[in-house]
Protein backbone atom coordinates (compact mmCIF):
# COMPACT_ATOMS: atom_id res chain seq x y z
CA UNK A 1 0.00 0.00 0.00
CA UNK A 2 2.78 2.36 0.88
CA UNK A 3 4.60 1.73 -2.36
CA UNK A 4 1.33 2.38 -4.13
CA UNK A 5 0.94 5.76 -2.48
CA UNK A 6 4.57 6.70 -3.05
CA UNK A 7 4.30 5.78 -6.71
CA UNK A 8 1.17 7.86 -7.10
CA UNK A 9 2.74 10.79 -5.27
CA UNK A 10 5.67 10.72 -7.61
CA UNK A 11 3.32 10.64 -10.55
CA UNK A 12 1.40 13.60 -9.15
CA UNK A 13 4.49 15.75 -8.84
CA UNK A 14 5.45 14.86 -12.38
CA UNK A 15 1.98 15.80 -13.53
CA UNK A 16 2.23 19.16 -11.82
CA UNK A 17 5.48 19.87 -13.58
CA UNK A 18 3.90 19.03 -16.89
CA UNK A 19 0.96 21.31 -16.08
CA UNK A 20 3.33 24.12 -15.23
CA UNK A 21 5.23 23.64 -18.47
CA UNK A 22 2.14 23.59 -20.61
CA UNK A 23 0.65 26.60 -18.84
CA UNK A 24 3.86 28.49 -19.18
CA UNK A 25 4.16 27.60 -22.82
CA UNK A 26 0.62 28.68 -23.55
CA UNK A 27 1.08 32.07 -21.99
CA UNK A 28 4.62 32.87 -22.94
CA UNK A 29 5.52 30.74 -25.90
CA UNK A 30 2.37 30.72 -27.98
CA UNK A 31 2.04 34.52 -28.23
CA UNK A 32 5.63 34.61 -29.42
CA UNK A 33 4.93 31.98 -32.02
CA UNK A 34 1.80 33.86 -33.05
CA UNK A 35 3.99 36.84 -33.83
CA UNK A 36 3.60 39.00 -30.78
CA UNK A 37 6.80 40.68 -29.80
CA UNK A 38 7.90 40.95 -26.22
CA UNK A 39 7.22 44.65 -26.60
CA UNK A 40 3.60 43.97 -27.23
CA UNK A 41 3.44 41.60 -24.28
CA UNK A 42 4.96 44.24 -22.06
CA UNK A 43 2.66 46.96 -23.38
CA UNK A 44 -0.23 45.34 -21.62
CA UNK A 45 1.36 46.18 -18.31
CA UNK A 46 2.12 49.82 -18.82
CA UNK A 47 -0.58 52.47 -18.57
CA UNK A 48 -2.24 54.46 -21.29
CA UNK A 49 -0.24 55.93 -24.12
CA UNK A 50 3.08 54.34 -23.23
CA UNK A 51 6.24 55.42 -24.88
CA UNK A 52 8.79 52.88 -26.09
CA UNK A 53 11.20 53.45 -23.18
CA UNK A 54 8.52 52.69 -20.62
CA UNK A 55 7.52 49.59 -22.55
CA UNK A 56 11.07 48.36 -22.68
CA UNK A 57 11.58 49.05 -18.99
CA UNK A 58 8.54 46.95 -18.23
CA UNK A 59 9.86 44.22 -20.47
CA UNK A 60 13.08 44.06 -18.51
CA UNK A 61 11.18 44.21 -15.25
CA UNK A 62 9.10 41.22 -16.21
CA UNK A 63 12.08 39.39 -17.57
CA UNK A 64 10.42 39.01 -20.95
CA UNK A 65 13.67 39.68 -22.74
CA UNK A 66 15.24 36.50 -21.36
CA UNK A 67 15.24 33.22 -23.23
CA UNK A 68 12.16 31.13 -22.61
CA UNK A 69 13.84 28.45 -20.52
CA UNK A 70 15.35 31.07 -18.26
CA UNK A 71 11.91 32.54 -17.73
CA UNK A 72 10.52 29.11 -17.00
CA UNK A 73 13.31 28.33 -14.61
CA UNK A 74 12.69 31.58 -12.81
CA UNK A 75 9.01 30.80 -12.65
CA UNK A 76 9.65 27.43 -11.03
CA UNK A 77 12.21 28.82 -8.66
CA UNK A 78 9.77 31.49 -7.56
CA UNK A 79 7.19 28.95 -6.56
CA UNK A 80 9.63 27.05 -4.47
CA UNK A 81 11.96 29.69 -3.14
CA UNK A 82 10.22 33.01 -3.48
CA UNK A 83 11.42 36.11 -5.31
CA UNK A 84 11.99 39.79 -4.89
CA UNK A 85 10.31 42.23 -7.21
CA UNK A 86 11.38 45.76 -7.89
CA UNK A 87 8.22 47.79 -8.15
CA UNK A 88 10.16 50.91 -8.81
CA UNK A 89 9.23 52.33 -5.45
CA UNK A 90 10.74 49.61 -3.37
CA UNK A 91 11.51 45.93 -3.22
CA UNK A 92 8.62 43.61 -2.60
CA UNK A 93 9.68 40.34 -1.09
CA UNK A 94 7.40 37.55 -2.23
CA UNK A 95 7.82 34.50 -0.01
CA UNK A 96 7.27 30.97 -1.29
CA UNK A 97 5.00 29.86 -2.77
CA UNK A 98 5.45 32.84 -5.00
CA UNK A 99 3.24 32.76 -8.05
CA UNK A 100 4.47 36.05 -9.29
CA UNK A 101 3.62 39.69 -8.96
CA UNK A 102 0.91 41.49 -10.84
CA UNK A 103 2.09 44.85 -12.04
CA UNK A 104 -1.40 45.72 -13.08
CA UNK A 105 -2.87 45.95 -9.64
CA UNK A 106 0.43 45.96 -7.79
CA UNK A 107 -0.30 42.90 -5.73
CA UNK A 108 1.42 39.59 -5.23
CA UNK A 109 -0.58 36.85 -6.84
CA UNK A 110 -0.53 34.28 -4.06
CA UNK A 111 -2.08 36.44 -1.29
CA UNK A 112 -4.89 37.36 -3.65
CA UNK A 113 -5.56 33.72 -4.43
CA UNK A 114 -5.28 32.83 -0.77
CA UNK A 115 -7.89 35.43 0.06
CA UNK A 116 -10.19 34.10 -2.65
CA UNK A 117 -9.72 30.47 -1.65
CA UNK A 118 -12.03 30.39 1.42
CA UNK A 119 -14.87 31.74 -0.70
CA UNK A 120 -14.51 29.11 -3.38
CA UNK A 121 -13.86 26.52 -0.71
CA UNK A 122 -17.04 27.44 1.15
CA UNK A 123 -19.01 27.37 -2.04
CA UNK A 124 -17.60 24.08 -3.28
CA UNK A 125 -17.74 22.19 0.00
CA UNK A 126 -21.21 23.37 0.94
CA UNK A 127 -22.58 22.51 -2.46
CA UNK A 128 -20.71 19.19 -2.42
CA UNK A 129 -22.33 18.09 0.82
CA UNK A 130 -25.76 18.99 -0.49
CA UNK A 131 -25.37 17.36 -3.85
CA UNK A 132 -23.75 14.23 -2.53
CA UNK A 133 -26.48 13.58 0.01
CA UNK A 134 -29.40 14.55 -2.17
CA UNK A 135 -28.03 13.16 -5.41
CA UNK A 136 -26.99 9.81 -4.06
CA UNK A 137 -30.07 9.54 -1.88
CA UNK A 138 -32.46 10.21 -4.72
CA UNK A 139 -30.48 7.93 -7.00
CA UNK A 140 -30.70 5.04 -4.56
CA UNK A 141 -34.39 5.54 -3.96
CA UNK A 142 -35.04 5.81 -7.66
CA UNK A 143 -33.18 2.59 -8.32
CA UNK A 144 -35.05 0.75 -5.63
CA UNK A 145 -38.37 2.11 -6.82
CA UNK A 146 -37.59 1.72 -10.45
CA UNK A 147 -40.45 2.51 -12.80
CA UNK A 148 -42.64 4.09 -10.17
CA UNK A 149 -43.95 7.62 -10.26
CA UNK A 150 -41.22 8.68 -7.87
CA UNK A 151 -38.54 7.31 -10.15
CA UNK A 152 -39.90 8.98 -13.24
CA UNK A 153 -40.45 12.28 -11.49
CA UNK A 154 -37.00 12.25 -9.94
CA UNK A 155 -35.28 11.49 -13.21
CA UNK A 156 -37.22 14.20 -15.02
CA UNK A 157 -36.18 16.77 -12.47
CA UNK A 158 -32.65 15.44 -12.78
CA UNK A 159 -32.80 15.90 -16.53
CA UNK A 160 -33.89 19.49 -16.01
CA UNK A 161 -31.06 20.05 -13.58
CA UNK A 162 -28.48 18.75 -15.98
CA UNK A 163 -29.87 20.65 -18.94
CA UNK A 164 -30.45 24.08 -17.48
CA UNK A 165 -27.41 26.30 -17.84
CA UNK A 166 -26.07 27.28 -14.50
CA UNK A 167 -26.15 30.99 -15.01
CA UNK A 168 -29.80 30.71 -15.89
CA UNK A 169 -30.63 28.89 -12.67
CA UNK A 170 -28.47 31.34 -10.77
CA UNK A 171 -30.13 34.44 -12.13
CA UNK A 172 -33.56 32.88 -11.77
CA UNK A 173 -32.94 31.96 -8.15
CA UNK A 174 -31.67 35.46 -7.45
CA UNK A 175 -34.64 37.06 -9.13
CA UNK A 176 -37.10 34.93 -7.16
CA UNK A 177 -35.51 34.30 -3.79
CA UNK A 178 -33.60 37.50 -3.32
CA UNK A 179 -35.49 40.16 -5.19
CA UNK A 180 -39.12 39.11 -5.40
CA UNK A 181 -39.55 37.09 -2.20
CA UNK A 182 -36.69 38.33 -0.05
CA UNK A 183 -35.94 35.01 1.60
CA UNK A 184 -32.22 35.59 1.22
CA UNK A 185 -31.77 39.33 0.85
CA UNK A 186 -28.03 39.04 1.23
CA UNK A 187 -27.45 36.22 -1.21
CA UNK A 188 -24.08 36.56 -2.84
CA UNK A 189 -22.88 39.12 -0.34
CA UNK A 190 -20.05 37.05 1.04
CA UNK A 191 -19.04 37.42 4.66
CA UNK A 192 -16.35 35.18 6.11
CA UNK A 193 -17.61 32.43 8.40
CA UNK A 194 -15.31 33.64 11.13
CA UNK A 195 -17.00 37.03 11.11
CA UNK A 196 -20.67 36.12 10.99
CA UNK A 197 -21.66 32.48 10.39
CA UNK A 198 -25.30 33.36 9.98
CA UNK A 199 -24.70 35.85 7.21
CA UNK A 200 -22.10 33.57 5.69
CA UNK A 201 -24.69 30.86 5.32
CA UNK A 202 -27.35 33.26 4.09
CA UNK A 203 -25.03 34.56 1.41
CA UNK A 204 -24.19 31.09 0.23
CA UNK A 205 -27.51 29.22 0.33
CA UNK A 206 -28.62 30.22 -3.15
CA UNK A 207 -25.20 29.60 -4.73
CA UNK A 208 -25.02 26.25 -2.94
CA UNK A 209 -28.39 25.16 -4.15
CA UNK A 210 -27.79 26.41 -7.68
CA UNK A 211 -24.50 24.58 -7.96
CA UNK A 212 -25.77 21.51 -6.13
CA UNK A 213 -28.83 21.30 -8.38
CA UNK A 214 -26.65 20.67 -11.39
CA UNK A 215 -24.41 18.14 -9.73
CA UNK A 216 -27.13 16.42 -7.72
CA UNK A 217 -28.91 15.74 -10.95
CA UNK A 218 -25.81 14.12 -12.40
CA UNK A 219 -25.17 12.12 -9.29
CA UNK A 220 -28.75 10.95 -9.02
CA UNK A 221 -28.62 9.57 -12.52
CA UNK A 222 -25.22 8.04 -11.95
CA UNK A 223 -26.19 6.48 -8.66
CA UNK A 224 -29.40 5.15 -10.05
CA UNK A 225 -27.65 3.51 -12.95
CA UNK A 226 -24.94 2.18 -10.69
CA UNK A 227 -27.42 0.83 -8.17
CA UNK A 228 -29.49 -0.88 -10.82
CA UNK A 229 -26.38 -2.56 -12.12
CA UNK A 230 -25.04 -3.49 -8.73
CA UNK A 231 -28.32 -4.90 -7.47
CA UNK A 232 -28.17 -7.37 -10.34
CA UNK A 233 -24.80 -8.62 -9.27
CA UNK A 234 -24.35 -12.14 -7.99
CA UNK A 235 -23.11 -11.12 -4.59
CA UNK A 236 -26.39 -9.40 -3.90
CA UNK A 237 -28.16 -12.67 -4.51
CA UNK A 238 -25.71 -14.37 -2.18
CA UNK A 239 -26.31 -11.79 0.50
CA UNK A 240 -30.04 -12.37 0.28
CA UNK A 241 -29.47 -16.11 0.24
CA UNK A 242 -27.66 -15.77 3.55
CA UNK A 243 -30.82 -14.36 5.03
CA UNK A 244 -29.72 -10.71 5.37
CA UNK A 245 -32.46 -8.16 5.82
CA UNK A 246 -33.21 -6.28 2.64
CA UNK A 247 -32.04 -3.02 4.13
CA UNK A 248 -28.65 -4.46 4.93
CA UNK A 249 -28.44 -5.96 1.49
CA UNK A 250 -29.09 -2.60 -0.12
CA UNK A 251 -26.85 -0.52 2.08
CA UNK A 252 -24.03 -2.76 3.15
CA UNK A 253 -23.65 -4.75 -0.03
CA UNK A 254 -25.33 -2.80 -2.78
CA UNK A 255 -24.59 0.80 -1.92
CA UNK A 256 -21.05 0.11 -0.86
CA UNK A 257 -20.23 -1.33 -4.26
CA UNK A 258 -22.10 1.41 -6.13
CA UNK A 259 -20.45 4.22 -4.27
CA UNK A 260 -16.92 3.46 -5.29
CA UNK A 261 -17.07 4.99 -8.76
CA UNK A 262 -19.30 7.75 -7.37
CA UNK A 263 -16.68 8.67 -4.81
CA UNK A 264 -14.06 8.71 -7.51
CA UNK A 265 -16.04 11.09 -9.64
CA UNK A 266 -16.91 13.15 -6.59
CA UNK A 267 -13.28 13.67 -5.76
CA UNK A 268 -12.51 14.80 -9.28
CA UNK A 269 -15.55 17.07 -9.43
CA UNK A 270 -14.62 18.66 -6.16
CA UNK A 271 -11.05 19.13 -7.27
CA UNK A 272 -12.16 20.87 -10.43
CA UNK A 273 -14.67 22.97 -8.55
CA UNK A 274 -12.20 24.25 -6.02
CA UNK A 275 -10.15 25.41 -8.97
CA UNK A 276 -12.90 27.94 -9.52
CA UNK A 277 -16.61 27.63 -10.02
CA UNK A 278 -16.42 30.36 -12.60
CA UNK A 279 -20.00 30.65 -13.73
CA UNK A 280 -21.55 30.43 -10.28
CA UNK A 281 -19.14 32.91 -8.77
CA UNK A 282 -19.64 35.36 -11.61
CA UNK A 283 -23.41 35.11 -11.47
CA UNK A 284 -23.52 35.67 -7.72
CA UNK A 285 -20.55 38.05 -7.63
CA UNK A 286 -18.74 35.88 -5.10
CA UNK A 287 -15.11 36.92 -4.69
CA UNK A 288 -13.67 33.46 -5.25
CA UNK A 289 -10.99 31.92 -7.44
CA UNK A 290 -13.29 31.60 -10.40
CA UNK A 291 -14.06 35.27 -10.48
CA UNK A 292 -10.43 36.03 -9.87
CA UNK A 293 -9.59 33.97 -12.93
CA UNK A 294 -12.18 35.69 -15.10
CA UNK A 295 -10.97 39.13 -14.09
CA UNK A 296 -7.39 38.15 -14.64
CA UNK A 297 -8.26 37.00 -18.13
CA UNK A 298 -10.25 40.12 -18.93
CA UNK A 299 -7.38 42.25 -17.76
CA UNK A 300 -4.90 40.04 -19.57
CA UNK A 301 -2.90 39.99 -16.37
CA UNK A 302 -0.43 37.24 -17.14
CA UNK A 303 1.03 36.52 -13.69
CA UNK A 304 -2.44 36.21 -12.23
CA UNK A 305 -3.71 34.00 -15.02
CA UNK A 306 -0.65 31.84 -14.68
CA UNK A 307 -1.03 31.66 -10.94
CA UNK A 308 -4.67 30.68 -10.95
CA UNK A 309 -4.12 28.12 -13.68
CA UNK A 310 -1.34 26.53 -11.69
CA UNK A 311 -3.43 26.53 -8.55
CA UNK A 312 -6.40 24.99 -10.29
CA UNK A 313 -4.10 22.43 -11.87
CA UNK A 314 -2.69 21.65 -8.45
CA UNK A 315 -6.16 21.01 -7.06
CA UNK A 316 -7.06 18.71 -9.90
CA UNK A 317 -3.83 16.74 -9.61
CA UNK A 318 -4.21 16.54 -5.85
CA UNK A 319 -7.81 15.42 -6.17
CA UNK A 320 -6.72 12.80 -8.69
CA UNK A 321 -4.14 11.52 -6.28
CA UNK A 322 -6.52 11.39 -3.34
CA UNK A 323 -9.15 9.65 -5.39
CA UNK A 324 -6.65 7.08 -6.61
CA UNK A 325 -5.56 6.30 -3.10
CA UNK A 326 -9.12 6.30 -1.83
CA UNK A 327 -10.13 3.87 -4.50
CA UNK A 328 -7.35 1.54 -3.46
CA UNK A 329 -8.46 1.81 0.13
CA UNK A 330 -12.04 1.00 -0.71
CA UNK A 331 -11.55 -1.64 -3.40
CA UNK A 332 -9.01 -4.22 -2.32
CA UNK A 333 -8.74 -5.63 -5.82
CA UNK A 334 -6.91 -2.49 -6.90
CA UNK A 335 -4.34 -2.66 -4.19
CA UNK A 336 -2.71 -5.94 -5.04
Partner 1 sequence: MTTADDWSRGQDGFVDVRPRPGEPEFYDSAPKPSDSFLELRDLRVHFPTDDGIVKSADGLSFTLERGRTLGIVGESGSGKSVTSLAIMGLHKNTRAKITGEIWLDGEELVAAGIDQVRALRGKKMAMIFQDPLSAMHPYYTVGAQIIEAYRIHNKVSKAVARKHAIEMLDRVGIPQPASRVDDYPHQFSGGMRQRAMIAMALSCDPELLIADEPTTALDVTVQAQILDLIRDLQQEFNSAVIIITHDLGVVAELADNIMVMYAGRTAEYGPTDDIFRRPQHPYTWGLLGSMPRLDRERADRLLPILGTPPSLINVPSGCAFHPRCGYASLTGGRSTDEVPVLRSVDGEHSVACHLTAEQRLKAWETDIKPKL
Partner 2 sequence: MKRKNAVAFAAVCAGLSLLTACGSGSSGSSGGSSSSGGAPSYNAGNNSVVNPSTKAGGTLNYGLSGVPDSTDPGSTYYAYMWNFSRLYARPLLTFKSAPGTDGLKLIPGLATGMGKVSSDGLTWTYTIQSGLKFEDGSAITTKDVKYAIERSTNYSPGILPNGPTYFQQYLTDPTYPGAFKDTTPDKLGLKGVDTPNDTTIVFHLQHPFADFDYLVTSPQTAPVPQAKDTGTKYQEHPISSGPYMFSSYDPNKGFTLVKNPNWTQASDPNDKQLVNTINVAFNVQAADLDSRLLNGSMDIDLDGTGVQTAARARILGNKTLQTKADDAVSGFLWYAALNTQVAPLNNVDCRKAIEYAVNKTTQQTAYGGPIAGGDIGTTVMPPTVVGYQKADQYSFIAQPNGDVAKAKSELQKCGQPNGFSVNISARGDRPKEVSAAQGIQEALAGIGVKAQIQQYPSGSNFSTYAGVPNFVHQHDLGIIMGGWAADWPDGFGFLSQISDGRAIKAAGNSNLQEENNPQLNQLLDKATQSPDASARNKIYAQIDQILMSDAVILPEVYAKSLLYRNPNTTNVFVTEAYGMYDYTQIGKSQ
Which residues contact partner 1 by CB under 8 A?
A: 233-235, 237-246, 253, 256-257, 260, 330-333, 336
Indicate the Cα dihedral angle 291, 295, 300, 301, nearest 10°: -80
State which of residues 63, 73, 95, 182 lies at the interface with partner 2 (CB under 8 A): 182
Asked whether 184 and 210 are in contact (CB, 8 A), the reply is no
* Measured distance CA(226)–CA(257) in Å, rounded: 9
194 makes contact with partner 2 (CB under 8 A): no
E-strand stretches of the chain: 83-86, 91-94, 101-102, 107-108
> Please, which residues have CB within 8 angstroms of residue 148's CB and are 6 or more apart in sequence?
none
177 makes contact with partner 2 (CB under 8 A): no
> Which of partner 1, partner 2, none binds 57 (CB below 5-8 Å, type-dependent)?
partner 2
By beta-carbon proximity to partner 2, the closer residue of 187 and 323 is 187
174 makes contact with partner 2 (CB under 8 A): yes
285 makes contact with partner 2 (CB under 8 A): yes
Size of the site for partner 2 (CB under 8 A): 50
Helices vs strands, H then E, count in the chain: 16, 4
295 makes contact with partner 2 (CB under 8 A): yes
Axis crossing angle, helix 166-174 with helix 197-230, rounded to the nearest 10: 140
218 makes contact with partner 2 (CB under 8 A): no
Asked whether 293 and 276 are in contact (CB, 8 A), the reply is yes
* SS3 category, 93: strand
90 makes contact with partner 2 (CB under 8 A): yes
46 makes contact with partner 2 (CB under 8 A): yes
Q: Given the rule CB under 8 A, which residues bind partner 2?
A: 40, 43-44, 46-51, 54, 57-58, 87-90, 92, 105-107, 112, 115-116, 165, 167-168, 171-172, 174-175, 178-180, 182, 185-186, 188-189, 282-285, 287, 291-292, 294-295, 298-300
Amino acid sequence: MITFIVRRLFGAVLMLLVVSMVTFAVFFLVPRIAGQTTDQLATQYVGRNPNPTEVHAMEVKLGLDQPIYVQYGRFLKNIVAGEDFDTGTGIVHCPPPCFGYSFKNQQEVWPQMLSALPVTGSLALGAAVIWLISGVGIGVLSALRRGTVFDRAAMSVALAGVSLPIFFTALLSLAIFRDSIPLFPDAGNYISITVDPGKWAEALVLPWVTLAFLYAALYARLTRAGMLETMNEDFIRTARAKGLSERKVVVKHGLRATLTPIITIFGLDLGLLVGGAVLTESAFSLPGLGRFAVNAINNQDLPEILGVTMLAGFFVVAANLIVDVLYAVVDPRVRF
